[in-house]
Amino acid sequence: MPEDSLTIVDNRTSTSYTIPIKNGAIRAMDLRQIKTGPEDFGMLSYDPAFMNTASCESRITFIDGDKGILLYRGYPIDQLAESCTYLEVAYLVLNGELPSRAQLDEWAQEITQHTLLHENIKKVLEGFHYDAHPMAVLASTVAALSTLYPEARNIQDPKVRHLEICRLIGKMPTIAAYAYRHSLGLPYVYPDNDLSYTENFMNMLWKKTELKFRPSPVLARALDVLFILHADHEQNCSANAMRSVGSSHADPYLSTAGAAAALSGPLHGGANEEVLIMLDEIGSKDKIPAFIARVKAGECKLMGFGHRVYKNYDPRARIIARIANEVFEVTGRNPKIDIALELERIALEDEYFVKRKLYPNVDFYSGIIYEAMGFRPAMFTVLFAIPRTSGWLAQWQELLQDSAQKIARPRQLYLGSPRRDFVPMAQRSA
């Protein structure tokens, strides 16, 4: 009997099967041989929401949810947040190694070349109502880029893939800034390629009539660190959407639009917006116990808490809580931080949260910083999507280079009606 194997006895037939174990997992396809007879399709594994199913092998991001560890390509997130720029981390996530000085300069130059949007995109944006949600605008506009770059369909060509990766990372902040200015009726600001990735984003958001926008170095660095923290997070809902859409060989713009759509939901990236709405609703510290009681009664969720993988403090939330103080030195203290800190203190002592291992996640504090910087809550998830684009593209690239991957196509357990004959309208009961 091989040591790395699993023996399963099917009690229906008293048959024993030995299945190999590799990397701590069995292949679900190895279960198919388990049959009650020749007519039997074979055993499936049933796993709604992928609670215990690995959909791929990956070498990009590692999370130990019990210990609260997050590594990009092996490097701890806190070390990267301390020492890198976002573009350096994006290079690492996409290419597997930290860049040399020359590689980083070339990479930054390549991304910078692609910050401009085709003028037609302005017409796309004009079609949106001023109060359209910025995430819907972002996802739609990214999809619209597909109409401008038909060569992007050539996904098997590494040179084309690289070009589209640079275009997407370069254009994402420009789309986000245009969406923001469109909502305010302000003229669009063209990219300033003398500035860094994050500084230029701030320029496109906030430049008024001055000749040169000069961002606060503290806020630019804080935003860059927030971008690093959001660069990738292994097989989360939007990465899975990216891989799933990409597995049909859709082009990277449409795949990214699908990933952005997945991110927009309040259980995923949309949670940062929901946290601010929740803090506004709570209003003051004395209302927290009543709010916690409502959460425990199942009336609502404590947004920004809980995670599928982390059953310990999300390491990103720790770093964000630290950045908040640096930002407040420039912007003034956002009073919502005090409600959030008290909420966290009370929740972490409460048996409901302790028993379920519910800790603050990345979205709990990020919105408070974004608000202090001047963003309104509807923009928060867009600020998540910009840096996550590098992670989505890294996942997409890995998918396309993985010979084990095919079009994503789950099975189902059909529990509906068996075959039956059509009933004409006149014979149907009410």
Q: Does 231 bind ligand CMC (CB under 6 A)?
A: no
Local structure of 419: helix, strand or coil: coil
Crossing angle of helices 362-373 and 271-282, in 10° steps, is 80
CB of 61 to ligand CMC, least distance (A): 13
93 touches 231 (CB < 8 A): yes
Q: What is the DSSP letter of 231?
A: S
Sign of CA dihedral 83, 88, 89, 95: negative
Identify which of residues 140 and 361 has a Cβ nearer to ligand CMC in the complex. Answer: 361
Q: Does 358 bind ligand CMC (CB under 6 A)?
A: yes
Looking at 350-427, list the stretches that DSSP marks H as alpha helix, in order from N- to C-terminal side: 351-355, 362-373, 380-401
Can 232 be counted among the known catalytic residues? Answer: no
Can 233 be counted among the known catalytic residues? Answer: no
Of residues 110 through 169, those in contact with ligand CMC by CB under 6 A are: none
CA distance 173 to 342: 34
Sign of CA dihedral 99, 100, 104, 107: negative
Identify which of residues 163 and 339 has a Cβ nearer to ligand CMC in the complex. Answer: 339
Token output for 118 = 């085709």
The contacts found for 282-288 with CB under 8 angstroms, 24 or more apart, are: 282/339, 282/343, 283/339, 284/339, 285/338, 285/339, 285/342, 288/339, 288/342, 288/343, 288/346
Q: Does 235 bind ligand CMC (CB under 6 A)?
A: no
Identify which of residues 183 and 264 has a Cβ nearer to ligand CMC in the complex. Answer: 264
Catalytic residue, chosen from 233, 251, 307, 314, is 307
CB of 348 to ligand CMC, least distance (A): 13
- Total residues belonging to the chain: 430
Residue type, 101: R
Identify which of residues 189 and 320 has a Cβ nearer to ligand CMC in the complex. Answer: 320
Nearest Cα to Cα of residue 85 among 205, 197, 171: 197
Residue with tokens 């910009």: 386
CA distance 295 to 278: 12
Stretch that binds ligand CMC, among 192-200, 239-247, 283-291, 295-303 (CB under 6 A): 295-303
Pick one of 295, 339, 379, 386: the residue that binds ligand CMC (CB under 6 A): 295
Stretch that binds ligand CMC, among 111-119, 214-222, 361-369, 370-378 (CB under 6 A): 361-369
Q: Does 200 bind ligand CMC (CB under 6 A)?
A: no
Q: What is the DSSP letter of 159?
A: H
Residue span 247-286 as binding mask against ligand CMC, x where in contact by CB under 6 A, dash where not? --------------------xxx-x---------------
Token output for 427 = 């014979």
CB of 379 to ligand CMC, least distance (A): 16
Stretch that binds ligand CMC, among 115-123, 173-181, 207-215, 294-302 (CB under 6 A): 294-302
Residue span 47-76 as binding mask against ligand CMC, x where in contact by CB under 6 A, dash where not? ------------------------------
Q: Does 356 bind ligand CMC (CB under 6 A)?
A: yes
Can 338 be counted among the known catalytic residues? Answer: no
Active site positions, annotated: 268, 307, 363
List residues binding ligand CMC (CB under 6 A). 236, 267-269, 271, 295, 301-308, 356, 358, 361-363
